[in-house]
Amino acid sequence: MLTKQKKRNTIIQSALKLFSTKGFYNTTISEISEKMGVSVGNIYNYFPSKKSLAQASIRYVTNKLATELRYINSLEISQKEKIRHFVTVYLQFVHRNPEIIEYFFKVYLSNRELFCDKDDCGFALAKEFIDEVEFLVEKGVSEGEFEKIDFYMAFSLVTGILGSITFLNSENAFMKDLDTYIDDVSTLICKGLSR
């Protein structure tokens, strides 16, 4: 028997796959339960609503990405190398766990209504990840590798490029393997951040 938390994660993983491919509103609880082989009602023993499942999913996804980036940030290498590492890891995710990345772009960024409760606008759910990006950039600035620019600009550069590539990839725009672009992408980001 799985622990309660383990089962929650199993549900999240099934949900992620469906949410990321078909979108939140085109995925039914029924489909998720079928995919998992459990009953509809049972899912409600773990999540009080479809919306809360979407929120738990973004926490799960953010944590995966933040964990990777946190680890990279802990390494004793230059910030540019960190960026290259992160791009590498990111593109691997896109390839091997597209649901992780696509959930971020297809559900989280596009269905804000799902993540905003009352005053909090669901930004906090991604904070863990944003903080690591901020850490990386700031360190680069303080160490003289990067130019000091508005953080939102830096953030837009990093996530914008990665997001675009994710989208193009999901549309099968790329002929070659995504790995091929590791250099291109990290260079592009570094050029933007550098002095």
For a second copy, which is the closer residue by CB, 77 or 124?
124
For position 39 contacting DNA by CB under 7 A, the verdict is yes
- Per CB under 7 A, does 22 bind DNA? no
Single out the residue of 94, 22, 97 nearest to residue 54, CA to CA: 22
- Which CB sits closer to DNA, 44 or 105? 44
Residues contacting a second copy: total by CB under 8 A: 42
CB 12, CB 63: distance < 8 Å: no
Give the span between the Cα atoms of 139 and 161, in whole angstroms: 21
- CA separation for the pair 164, 178 (Å, rounded): 13
Of the candidate spans 29-37, 50-58, 64-72, 102-110, the one that interacts with a second copy by CB under 8 A turns out to be: 102-110
Residue 164 interacts with a second copy (CB under 8 A)?
yes
State the Cα–Cα distance between residues 110 and 8, nearest whole angstrom. 24
Nearer to a second copy by Cβ, of 25 and 71: the residue is 25
Using CB distances below 5 to 8 A depending on partner kind, what does residue 29 bind out of DNA, a second copy, none? DNA
CB of 115 to DNA, least distance (A): 15
Taking the CB of residue 131, how many other CB atoms lie within 10 A of it? 14
Which window, 39-47, 56-64, 131-139, 143-151, contacts DNA (CB under 7 A)? 39-47
Q: ∠118-69-156 over CA atoms, to 5°?
A: 60
**Secondary structure (3-state) at 97:** coil
What residue ranges in the chain does DSSP mark as E strands?
none
The DSSP letter of residue 105 is I
> Which residue ranges make up the site for a second copy (CB under 8 A)?
22-23, 25-26, 105-107, 109-113, 121, 123, 149-150, 152-153, 155-157, 159-165, 167-168, 170-174, 181, 184-185, 188, 191-192, 194
